[in-house]
Amino acid sequence: MRTTVTIDDELAAKAEELLIDHELRQPQRHPVVGESRVAIAPDEALNAMLSTQAV
Amino acid sequence: MCDTLCAVGRKRTLFAKNSNRPRDEVQVVESHPRRPTGGSLRTTHLELPDAGAAAVIGSRPAWMWGFEHGINEHGVAIGNERIFTTDDPHDAPPALTGMDVVRLGLERGRSADAAIDVMTALIEEHGQGGRCSEHHDDPYWSSFLVADAHGAWVVETSGRRWVARAVEDGAAISNRVTLGVDWTRSSADVAPGTDFSHLIDPNVPTEPSDVRLATTRACVTTGADLLTPRDLVATMRHHGRRAWGAPGDDPSDVDLPQPAGAPGWDAFTVCWHIVPVESTAASMIAELLPAGGPLRAWFALGSPCASLYVPTFPPEVPEELASAHTWARFRALRDRVEVDRGALTPIRAVLGPVEARLWDDADAVAHDPSRRETFGRAVWQAVDGALTRLGV
């Protein structure tokens, strides 16, 4: 029996394909290592990193 | 913070490093002739017996002895990275800095293999320690990428401990431990099978390095046989979206730095603008050919996006690159961009064509020693003219 695919399904499949393609092109833009986002400004984040080991 | 990469091919190795440093720290590119053995040597914090030196070109923060990156007459290129481990470098007394180790490896290494022998022996004997910033008590451990025409090594350290892995096709390192159990050489105090990544400091996020490693590793994955030094320039100008600005590309095709308030880790890009803490202070691209081929390196002062990579044929380098005043001129362009990122477009409109012409001219004379000498004398005139046009 032939399976009928609605246009919406086709679009959804295409969108998923594009999404996968996008992620493959940029596989590590936001790598899953600990918290992937920060809520503080970059200079504050960097200063925090640099001062982590400060005595 | 820095990024270093290399791609090892059948006929050559390509190498690149961005040196990210405190924004006021002057960096100069110097050529040093061979030095005979004898006497003593004053490094940044230590005095050592002087084993002599090969001719080297290095990019040196003006207050210290060591190099951020450099190349020697034997075609060895080395760069280092600050890395964070569970060993606190504040506990170590003043000793060698990673930058000292880079310079000593270049001075004493006739090959990448020989250089890592020298570097790791010095680390074991003298240790690492002492401030690595002119105005702050800021010691750190380093990792290293050591390359020649035939191969390369990644070396990662924590105090006197070290592990190393030979590079196959290419590698990129940043401000994190990258080796796990895949190392093949180590100091005696690292047990076989040790996972070096267990030393990663859990208090220091790796994401700012991971996002940049994604960029530099994508470049390396292309492979040395397809990459050119121009491609490496485009990667070192990466602002988190795409490689751009290869010498000879359309100078109006500019990818601006990330805007203030960029979300998440997006601000942590290979061309580094973390205002007001750190920016890229200098950069180097090198092409390492087997014996007999011309040794080539391209040096940029300031941020790669707001600078130009000056072609050189080591050990010759324009003496103006060793001037703090020259660094200040490029720094002024960087500051202009960091105040108003849109200022990058007119800057590239001036620098892009000059850079493209210099690269083409350098390619044309690369295999003719007499013409190389003429080119070396003329190159600074073009750079100076471009900077003057930009009002710096």
Residue B213 has pLDDT above 60, yes or no: yes
| Count of the separate structural domains present in chain A | 1
ipTM over 0.90: no
Provide the whole-model pTM: 0.90
Three-state DSSP class for residue B156: strand
Q: Is B138 on the interface with A (CB under 8 A)?
A: yes
Best mutation target, A46, A53, A55, to test chain B (most B CBs within 10 A): A53
Average pLDDT, chain A: 53
Residue A6 lies in a domain: yes
Structural domain that includes position A15: 1-30
Q: Is B84 on the interface with A (CB under 8 A)?
A: yes
Q: Where in chain B are the domains?
A: 2-389
Compute the distance between CA of residue B293 and CA of residue B13 in angstroms, rounded to an integer.
12
CB B5 within 8 A of CB B259: no
What is the pLDDT confidence band of residue B97, given thresholds at 50, 70 and 90?
Answer: very high
Hey, are the CB atoms on A53 and B275 less than 8 Å from each other? Answer: no
| Percent of all residues in chain B with a pLDDT value above 90, rounded to a whole number | 91
Q: Which tens digit of pLDDT belongs to each residue from B26-44?
A: 999 999 999 999 999 999 9
The verdict on domain B2-389 having CATH code 3.60.60.10 is yes
Contacts of B226 (CB under 8 A, 6+ apart): none
Compute the distance between CA of residue B348 and CA of residue B44 in angstroms, rounded to an integer.
36
Compute the distance between CA of residue B20 and CA of residue A17 in angstroms, rounded to an integer.
38
Residue A36 lies in a domain: no
Residue A52 lies in a domain: no
What mean pLDDT comes out for the span B306-322? 95
For each of chain A's 55 residues, which pLDDT tens digit applies? 333 344 455 544 554 444 443 333 333 333 333 444 566 788 888 888 888 764 3
Q: Which tens digit of pLDDT belongs to each residue from B170-205?
A: 999 999 999 999 999 999 999 999 999 999 999 899
Average pLDDT, chain B: 96
pLDDT for residue B376: 84
Specify the long-range contacts of residues B115-120, CB closer than 8 Å, at least 24 apart.
B115/B76, B115/B78, B115/B146, B116/B144, B116/B146, B116/B153, B116/B155, B116/B164, B116/B185, B119/B78, B119/B144, B119/B146, B119/B155, B120/B155, B120/B162, B120/B164, B120/B185, B120/B187
Hey, are the CB atoms on B264 and A52 less than 8 Å from each other? Answer: no
Best mutation target, A22, A25, A26, A28, to test chain B (most B CBs within 10 A): A28
Residue B80 has pLDDT above 50, yes or no: yes
Active site residue B2: yes
Q: Which tens digit of pLDDT belongs to each residue from B330-365?
A: 999 999 999 999 999 999 999 999 999 999 999 999
Q: Which tens digit of pLDDT belongs to each residue from B67-77?
A: 999 999 999 99
For chain A, the distance separating the N- and C-terminal CA atoms, rounded to the nearest angstrom, is 73
What mean pLDDT comes out for the span B201-215? 93
CB B344 within 8 A of CB B254: yes
CA A13 to chain B, closest CA, distance in angstroms equals 26
CB B297 within 8 A of CB B312: yes
Hey, are the CB atoms on B277 and A33 less than 8 Å from each other? Answer: no
